[in-house]
């Protein structure tokens, strides 16, 4: 049984209702999960609200030490977290163990160290008036996270929000409740007081909505699809509640003819089909300079066919399953759309013959994709990628920017002038040149267009979780006449 985690302990739903969580690699039920609604959210928010004042008054360096301890404990329990994450999400155990969990520890440590390094602008004072600005935490942050990298998505919000002195109520995606609950238990073990980090499980239209609407939740930090993000943005706007919205993507990956093609194929494979394409920066539009289309396409298709799908616990597996039956149907629906739009299916598009259980889909590559197609314009969030030829640098840039999203972009080129020109011209918050996506806590990135608002990573992310206050102090005895 996976319970909510409220006020330092696991609790069932007040209604007693539950739902079932399954292992996407087998389709089998792995846990019964507390199904939260407005009453449970209210209980969690009250706990977070009650804990806020004391937590916000803990000296920042002390808060940092507790968050640092959480990172240490997470690394000590690395295997346990990696295992639970694999069962819950279908992500491979190897990548959870070697990438995701250490990445989360890095983020906790980075923001633990940043807790006492918040800076505010101090304008010149004038005689008799002392002015200063401070950054203050919001209070209770309502965090809503997706399923694609469950622990990482929870950590990105939690690490920065807690470091700034906020308390958090998190609603994890209903598909992946396990590791965030374990993380909440670990926070108590690290010495983070009860109520500072609470978790409520359940569905978006129940627990998620209750969190967004709760008057004591002072800010919403959402990661998920653009459709839901827009809805929450509108709702928050009506309540004048600030909302950080990290939403979908449809990244382009441009392969110029002067690139190292082998490196580019390797990078494209990772950038498009890694984690089954279930990541927001997935480069599902591959733009290839006309002269190298046959060579690049042949190599990409061959490599895509060599991706080993299977048991996430098998060390030779490259990718596990898609997260759920619903998502499997959505993604295979896009395969049919691509075919009906006359994109050329080069490989994949079906369940592999040797995997009868679970939601496995062969890595899928379309050729002759064009910008009028839905598979070009819409986020698929699965292992489906399309190739489009281009003739000139200007055309490549125009094609890459012909998209409603603005999360990331990739390109492969050797010419130094081109590298700078194209980096400047791409309308994306993150640009990767001659490499697949690579993330470190220190590097800030903006979010653009239909991909959302706010900024990720770096010290800049602390601005998402603090609000500015300007203070004026008259120490001259001067009287300010309201009428001269
Ligand atoms: P989703 O929008 O369906 O759900 C995200 C979260 O919102 C879940 O916890 C869900 O329960 C909740 N939710 C759903 N409806 C809600 C409602 N009406 N009110 C309140 N909460 C609600 O997205 P998903 O399928 O879980 O995740 C995939 C999406 O996340 C993709 O679009 C992907 O690009 C995006 N994503 C973005 C980033 C980023 O950093 N920009 C990172 C990872 C994933």
Q: What domains lie within the chain, and their CATH numbers?
A: 4-247+452-470 (3.40.605.10), 252-433 (3.40.309.10)
Segment 185-205 mean pLDDT: 98
Closest CA to 451 of 241, 310, 250, 293: 250
User: DSSP assignment, residue 291?
Assistant: G
pTM flag (> 0.75): yes
Confidence grade of residue 480 (pLDDT, cut at 50, 70, 90): confident
- Measure 225 CA to ligand 1 centroid, in angstroms: 4
Structure tokens at 390: 């281009």
Beta-sheet pairing, 18-23 with 28-34: antiparallel
- How far does residue 379's CA lie from ligand 1's centre (Å)? 13
At 15-32, the pLDDT tens digits run 999 999 999 999 999 999
Q: Distance between CA atoms of 154 and 118, rounded to whole angstroms?
A: 22
Which residue's CA is the closest to the ligand 1 atom numbered 9?
Answer: 173
List, for residues 241-260, the tens digit of each pLDDT value.
999 999 999 999 999 999 99
Span 458-468, average pLDDT: 95
| Cα separation, 461 vs 358, whole angstroms | 37
Beta strand 129-137 with 466-474 is antiparallel
Please state the rounded mean pLDDT for residues 72-93: 98
Give the helix/strand (H/E) hosting 53: helix 38-57
Q: What is the pLDDT of residue 484?
A: 63
For helices 101-114 and 150-163, give the axis angle rounded to 10 degrees.
10
Range 420-446 average pLDDT: 96
In short, whether 324's Cβ falls inside 6 Å of ligand 1 is no
Q: What is the pLDDT of residue 122?
A: 80
Among 176, 228, 276, name the best residue to mutate to test ligand 1's pocket (greatest count of ligand atoms within 8 A of Cβ): 228
Tokens of 343: 């994109």
- Among 63-67, 86-90, 124-128, 273-277, the range scoring the smallest mean pLDDT is 124-128
Ligand 1 centroid to Cα of residue 323, in Å, is 13
User: Of all protein residues, whose CA lies closest to atom 5 belonging to ligand 1?
Assistant: 224
State how far the alpha carbon of 363 is from the alpha carbons of 273, 305, 317, 454, in Å: 7, 7, 13, 32
**Which helix or strand (DSSP H or E) is residue 337 part of?**
helix 325-340
124 lines ligand 1 (CB under 6 A): no
Q: List pLDDT tens digits, range 207-228.
A: 999 999 999 999 999 999 999 9
| Dihedral class, residue 74 (left if φ above 0, else alpha if ψ from -120 to 50, else beta) | alpha
Question: 85 near 178, Cβ under 8 Å?
Answer: yes
Could you confirm whether 164 is annotated as catalytic?
no
Is 246 among the residues known to form the active site? yes
Structure tokens at 407: 């999360």
Q: Pocket of ligand 1, candidates 146, 448, 449: which has the most ligand atoms within 8 Å of its Cβ, to mutate?
A: 146
Tell me which of 126 and 298 has the higher pLDDT. 298
Residue 483 clears pLDDT 80, i.e. is over it: no
pLDDT value at 148 more than 90: yes
| Average pLDDT over every residue of 369-395 | 98
């Amino acid at each position: 049984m996976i319970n909510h985690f409220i006020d330092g302990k696991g609790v069932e739903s007040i209604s007693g209702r539950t739902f079932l969580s399954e292992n996407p690699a087998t389709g089998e039920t792995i846990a019964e999960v507390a199904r939260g609604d407005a009453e449970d959210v209210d209980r969690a928010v009250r706990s977070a609200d009650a804990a806020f004042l004391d937590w916000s008054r803990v000296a920042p360096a002390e808060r940092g030490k507790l968050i640092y301890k959480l990172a240490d404990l997470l690394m000590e329990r690395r295997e346990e977290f990696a295992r639970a994450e694999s069962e819950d999400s279908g992500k491979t155990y190897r990548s959870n163990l070697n990438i995701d969990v250490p990445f989360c520890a890095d983020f906790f440590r980075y923001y633990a160290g940043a807790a006492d390094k918040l800076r505010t602008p101090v304008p010149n004072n004038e005689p008799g008036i002392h002015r200063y600005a401070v950054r203050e935490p919001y209070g209770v942050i309502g965090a809503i996270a997706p399923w694609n990298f469950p622990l990482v998505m929870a950590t990105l919000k939690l690490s920065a929000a807690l470091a700034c002195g906020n308390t958090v109520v998190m609603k994890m995606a209903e598909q992946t409740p396990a590791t965030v609950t374990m993380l909440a238990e670990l926070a108590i073990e690290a010495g983070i007081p009860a109520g500072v980090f609470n978790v409520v499980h359940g569905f978006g239209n129940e627990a998620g909505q209750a969190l967004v609407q709760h008057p004591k939740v002072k800010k919403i930090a959402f990661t998920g699809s653009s459709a839901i993000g827009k809805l929450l943005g509108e709702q928050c706007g009506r309540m004048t509640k600030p909302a950080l919205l990290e939403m979908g993507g449809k990244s382009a990956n441009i392969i110029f003819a002067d690139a190292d093609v082998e490196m580019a194929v390797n990078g494209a494979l990772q950038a498009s089909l890694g984690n089954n394409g279930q990541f927001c920066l997935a480069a599902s539009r591959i733009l290839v300079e006309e002269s190298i289309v046959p060579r690049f396409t042949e190599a990409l298709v061959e490599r895509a066919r060599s991706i080993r799908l299977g048991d996430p616990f098998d060390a030779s597996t490259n990718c596990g399953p898609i997260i759920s039956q619903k998502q499997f149907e959505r993604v295979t629906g896009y395969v049919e759309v691509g075919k009906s739009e006359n994109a050329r299916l080069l490989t994949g598009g079906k369940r592999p013959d040797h995997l009868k259980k679970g939601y496995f889909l062969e890595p899928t590559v379309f050729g002759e994709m064009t910008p009028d197609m839905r598979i070009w314009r819409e986020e698929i969030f699965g292992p489906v990628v399309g190739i489009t030829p281009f003739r000139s640098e200007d055309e490549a840039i125009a094609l890459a920017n012909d998209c409603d999203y603005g999360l990331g972009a990739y390109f492969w080129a050797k010419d130094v002038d081109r590298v700078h020109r194209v980096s400047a011209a791409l309308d994306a918050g993150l640009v990767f040149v001659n490499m697949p996506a690579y993330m470190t806590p220190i590097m800030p990135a903006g979010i653009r267009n239909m991909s959302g608002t706010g900024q990720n990573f770096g010290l800049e992310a602390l601005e998402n979780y603090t609000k500015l206050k300007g203070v004026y102090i008259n120490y001259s005895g001067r009287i300010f006449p309201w009428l001269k």
